[in-house]
Structure 1
Amino acid sequence: MVPPQSPAQQLPSGQDTTATDTTAVDQAVDQFSNAFSEAFRLLLAGNWEGLYDHLTDGALYLSGLFAERGLQALAALLLLYAIYRVLYLPLERALDRSDSIGLGLQSLLLKTFRVVTFFFIGTVVLDQLGVNIAVLIGGIGIAGIVAGFAARDSLENFIAGVTVLVDKPFGVGDYIKVDDQYGQVDEITLRSTRLRTVRNRIMVLPNTEMIKEKVMNHTKRNVLRLDIPFGIAYKERPDEAREALLPIVEDDDRILSDPSPTAVVTEMDDSSVNMLLRFYLRDPSQEVPMRWEYTEKVRETLRDADIEIPFPHRQLFLDEAEAFEGTDLLAPTNGDHPATN
């Protein structure tokens, strides 16, 4: 294989060395393609000795052509990666110590730093190898536009994820309710939010849903008011129900004394006087088990105090036998005839 003219020849004054280097690389690629075609022809002809000599000469030529640039690219890669490691570790520690930046936003910032840094390192290394970076970036841009149209939903979730991480309506560890789904935020990524339900199941919600739906954050203020609904009969007195129920919450250390617990009348229903037992929890994460516990306690306390808990019922009044005329209820049985006036 005949090598092309050496690119190290003296250049005229003012000539662009980058263009010449790129041309040299293009020529090397063409030579490699021609060498491969020749090797394939020798293989079909069964000329094993000629094939071996041809491949050996081509490999030596290409290795000599790229040796200098390869060493430069390797040196640039090692140097830039060392700088990346020196910058990454302090950045990670600084984000960990920050109280104003949540875990999700920390992850986003670190991933963005890695992507930008590796992209920069890649362009520098390719430039050292003689690759036309402008053409490469243009191709990546066109491919990015096509991929954006093809993955529109993923792009929307990505933008929504950035919005959630920056706006911080909730964070990892918060208890939230989204579209009748309640649970603890387990992880926030750029695509989705993972919610751990009270059944210890992981629910994956797209971030677009997190910004479109109403989100109720139960732990944003570190305290939570719990309402336990119940009803008493109309013959009972609300103050007696209040006197029976308040002592059971005042002695519970899990419940705040300020604001103080209350029991209030909320509605005059068809069959009952509806009330709410209200108190504030020290730990919002205990909302569900405390609700179950005090629903049972309210029922047992009212029962022990002989306070009736009514249930819905209806009374039907009929005007003597006229309502049954024309039905089987007044039909004679065993030969008897219905009574007549």
Structure 2
Amino acid sequence: MDGLLEKIDIQDLLTRLVEFLPSLGAAILILILAWLLFRLTRGSLSRMLERAGFEPALVKMLISNIYRFVLMIFGLVMAAGQIGINVGAALAGIGVAGIAIGFAAQDSLANTLAGFMIFWDKPFQVGDWINVADEYGEVAEITMRSTRMRTPNNTYVVIPNKSIIDQVLVNHSKHGETRVDVPIGIAYKEDIPTAREVLLAAVKGFEDVSAVRPTEVVVAKLSSSSVDMQLRVWIDDAAIEKAVYARVMEAGKLALDHAGIEIPYHHMQLFIDKVDDRVWEGVKKLAPLSALSGPANGQQGS
């Protein structure tokens, strides 16, 4: 131990430490100034971005994460230069590491970029009811990586942002009012105007149905076994769309039943216009064979 102390020049060590203290103090001062700059400017920048129309979640993400990260990195680089670290070599190493990390996390980066696009384009916002990626529900939260939805079943669905921007999205809340189309079929023998009056009366004064927008009943399609009609009602809140759909369909069914208007099931009718005599002759020849096969098939219980 004494030999080691003899080899160390205490005076030289103290001299080097005194010479290094100003550089260390300057580095610490730079870090403190970077932190103070963030604290002093984050409020004004947040208000400026909000006035520019940015979503609050995006503003929080830009200021609390990206802006703070950039300032801290800038402060660390300047502080490292003050204490004699080769900043150029360090930045080159960070760049190489960044490329490797980028390749390893390209899915996460793609979702983050998609998050920026969602915040910028604003196809939906928190509280909207949307259809996307085979899911329907209320947007509960939007992050840079994913969008979280609450479904009518009260389940929690997390969808990567990349999946959202790559698919067709339907926003049921974007324009406030929403039209609900309820399909109801009637038989071909029934009178369409009478069915229309019955259905309109069934939903007149119906709870949650808009009294401003007119309710309509139109013929949507002539199917093989029914005249497909649509009962179109308007609602003010997309959150009740599924509930209103079910209640309106039930009310329409009960009203048609009460009026004696048939709602047919799927069936097929076969009409024979003309049959050649040779066909009937063939049927007559097969009749004895059919009679003989009857007992073989087993008429039990008679």
TM-score norm. by structure 1 comes to: 0.72
Residue of structure 2 equivalent to 1:261: 215
- Does structure 1 residue 172 correspond to structure 2 residue 126? yes
The separation in 2 between residues aligned to 1:208 and 1:257, in whole angstroms, is: 40
Q: Percent identity?
A: 36
- Does structure 1 residue 331 correspond to structure 2 residue 286? no
Gaps of 5+ in 1: 1-46, 335-341
Q: Give the paired residue count.
A: 285
Question: What displacement does 1:260 show?
Answer: 0.6
Check the 8 A contact 2:179/2:233 in 1, yes or no: yes
- Residues 120 and 332 (structure 1 numbering): CA distance in 2 closer, same or farther, change over 3 Å? closer
Residue of structure 1 equivalent to 2:88: 134
Relative contact order (C-alpha < 8 Å, sep 6+): which is higher?
A: 2
Question: What displacement does 1:255 show?
Answer: 2.4
Question: What displacement does 1:129 show?
Answer: 2.4
Q: Which is greater in Rg?
A: 1
Residue of structure 1 equivalent to 2:265: 311
Amino acid in structure 1 at the alignment position of 2:164: M
Question: What displacement does 1:183 show?
Answer: 1.4
The separation in 2 between residues aligned to 1:327 and 1:160, in whole angstroms, is: 72
Question: What displacement does 1:53 show?
Answer: 9.3
Amino acid in structure 1 at the alignment position of 2:293: A
Amino acid in structure 1 at the alignment position of 2:102: G
Question: What displacement does 1:261 show?
Answer: 0.7
Matches within 5 A, 1:27-176: 61=14, 64=18, 66-95=20-49, 98=51, 100-110=53-63, 111-176=65-130
Matches within 5 A, 1:145-294: 145-252=99-206, 254-294=208-248
Q: Secondary structure at the match of 2:98?
A: helix
Amino acid in structure 2 at the alignment position of 1:100: G
Query: What's the RMSD between the two structures over aligned residues?
Result: 3.3
Q: CA deviation digits over 1:81-137, x for unaligned, max 9?
A: 1221111123334545x4832234323422322222222222232223222222222
The separation in 2 between residues aligned to 1:125 and 1:298, in whole angstroms, is: 75
Q: CA deviation digits over 1:176-230, x for unaligned, max 9?
A: 1113321122222222222222222222222222222111111111111110011
TM-score norm. by structure 2 comes to: 0.80
Check the 8 A contact 1:104/1:172 in 2, yes or no: no
The separation in 1 between residues aligned to 2:186 and 2:197, in whole angstroms, is: 14
Q: Secondary structure at the match of 1:331?
A: helix
Q: Secondary structure at the match of 2:214?
A: coil
Residue of structure 2 equivalent to 1:29: none
The separation in 1 between residues aligned to 2:290 and 2:6, in whole angstroms, is: 112
Question: What displacement does 1:253 show?
Answer: 5.3
Question: What displacement does 1:65 show?
Answer: 5.5
- Residues 302 and 53 (structure 1 numbering): CA distance in 2 closer, same or farther, change over 3 Å? farther
- Residues 63 and 184 (structure 1 numbering): CA distance in 2 closer, same or farther, change over 3 Å? farther
- Residues 66 and 290 (structure 1 numbering): CA distance in 2 closer, same or farther, change over 3 Å? farther
Check the 8 A contact 2:185/2:263 in 1, yes or no: yes
Q: CA deviation digits over 1:114-167, x for unaligned, max 9?
A: 222222222232223222222222221222222222222222222222222212
The separation in 2 between residues aligned to 1:52 and 1:311, in whole angstroms, is: 102
Amino acid in structure 2 at the alignment position of 1:296: E
Q: CA deviation digits over 1:17-73, x for unaligned, max 9?
A: xxxxxxxxxxxxxxxxxxxxxxxxxxxxxx6x7779999x69x75755543322222
Gaps of 5+ in 2: 273-279, 297-302
The separation in 2 between residues aligned to 1:52 and 1:195, in whole angstroms, is: 67
Amino acid in structure 2 at the alignment position of 1:189: T
- Residues 304 and 118 (structure 1 numbering): CA distance in 2 closer, same or farther, change over 3 Å? farther
The separation in 2 between residues aligned to 1:317 and 1:252, in whole angstroms, is: 43
- Residues 268 and 122 (structure 1 numbering): CA distance in 2 closer, same or farther, change over 3 Å? same
Q: Secondary structure at the match of 1:169?
A: coil
